[in-house]
Structure 1
Amino acid sequence: MITIRDIARKANVSIATVSRILNNDKTLSVSDETREKILKIVDELGYKPLRKRDVKKQDDKVENALNIGILLAYSEQDEANDPYFLSIRQGIEKECSEKFINISSIVRLDGNKFNFDLNEFDGLIVVGGIEAKDFKNLYNNRNVVFVDHAYEIDEYDSVISSFEKATENVIDYLVSMGHKEIGYIGGRKTVKRITSNEVIEIEDVRLQVYRKKMKELGLYSERNIYIGDWNPSGGYKAMKGAIENGSLPSAFIIASDPMSTGALHALHEANINVPDDVAIISFDDIESAAYLNPPLTTVKTYTEEMGKAAVKLLLERARGREIPIQVVVPTKLIIRKSCGGNDSDYSGYIFYS
Structure 2
Amino acid sequence: MATIREVAKAAGVSPATVSRVLNYDQTLSVNEATRQKIFKTAEAMHYHKSRKTRKSKQKRLAICLWCDQDQEIKDLYYYSIRTSAQAEAKKQGLESQVIYPADPLPDPAALSGIIMIGYQQYSPDRLNEVKKSGLPLVFVDTDTLKLGYCSVVADFGQAMQEALEVFWGQGRERIALLDGDLDSNFDKNNLVDFRFRDYKKSLAARGQYDPDLVYVGNFTPQSGYEAIKEALKSGSFPKALIAANDAMAIGALKAFKEAGIKVPEDVSLISFNDTTAAEFANPALTSVHVETQQMGRASVKVMKDLLDDDEAGTYKVTFPTKLVYRESCPKA
- The normalised TM-score by structure 1 is 0.71
Spell out the pairing of 1:26-37 with structure 2 (5 A cutoff). none
Tell whether 2:243 aligns with 1:254: yes
* Letter aligned with residue 88 of structure 1: I
Please give the per-residue CA displacement for 1:273-304, whole angstroms capped at 9, x wherever unaligned. Answer: 11111000001111131222222100011111
**1:290 maps to amino acid:** E
CA distance in 2, matches of 1:109, 1:202: 21
SS across alignment from 2:262: coil
Deviation at 1:63, TM superposition (A): 8.3
Q: Give the 5 Å matches for 1:218-233.
A: 218-233=207-222
CA, structure 1 residues 245+107, in 2 after alignment: closer, same or farther (shift >3 Å)?
Answer: same
Aligned residue in 2 for 1:313: 302
- Unaligned 5+ residue runs, structure 2? 1-51, 184-189
What is the aligned-residue RMSD (CA, Å)?
2.4
* Whole-Å separation in 2 of the counterparts to 1:168 and 1:337: 20
Q: Which position in structure 2 is the counterpart of 1:11? A: none
Deviation digits for residues 239-273 of structure 1, max 9, x if unmatched?
11121122100100001111111101111111111
Take 2:56 and 2:83, find their aligned partners in 1: how far apart are those partners? 19
> C-alpha distance in 1, partners of 2:105/2:276?
37
Aligned partner (choices 128, 134, 148) of residue 140 of structure 1: 134
Corresponding residue of 1:326: 316
Give 1:178 deviation, angstroms.
Answer: 0.7
Q: Is the 8 A contact 1:232 1:262 kept in 2?
A: yes
CA shift at 1:100, angstroms? 2.3
Percent of pairs with identical residues? 30
Partner of 1:109: 101
The answer for the alignment partner of 1:335 in structure 2 is 325
Secondary structure (helix, strand or coil) at the match of 1:339 reads coil
Question: Does residue 1:97 correspond to 2:90, yes or no?
Answer: yes
Q: Which residue of 1 aligns with 2:7?
A: none
Q: Contact (CA 8 Å) 1:84, 1:284: kept in 2 or not?
A: yes
Q: Pick from 169, 181, 186 the counterpart of residue 176 of structure 1.
A: 169
Q: Return 5+ residue gaps in structure 1 as ranges.
A: 1-57, 191-200, 343-353
Count of matched residue pairs: 270
TM-score by length of 2: 0.75
For 2:77 and 2:160, locate their aligned partners in 1 and report how far apart those are by CA, in whole Å: 17
Q: Residue in 2 aligned with 1:214?
A: 203
Counterpart among 278, 295, 302 of residue 289 in structure 1:
278
Taking a change above 3 Å as real, the CA distance of residues 186 and 158 of structure 1, as seen in their structure-2 partners, is same
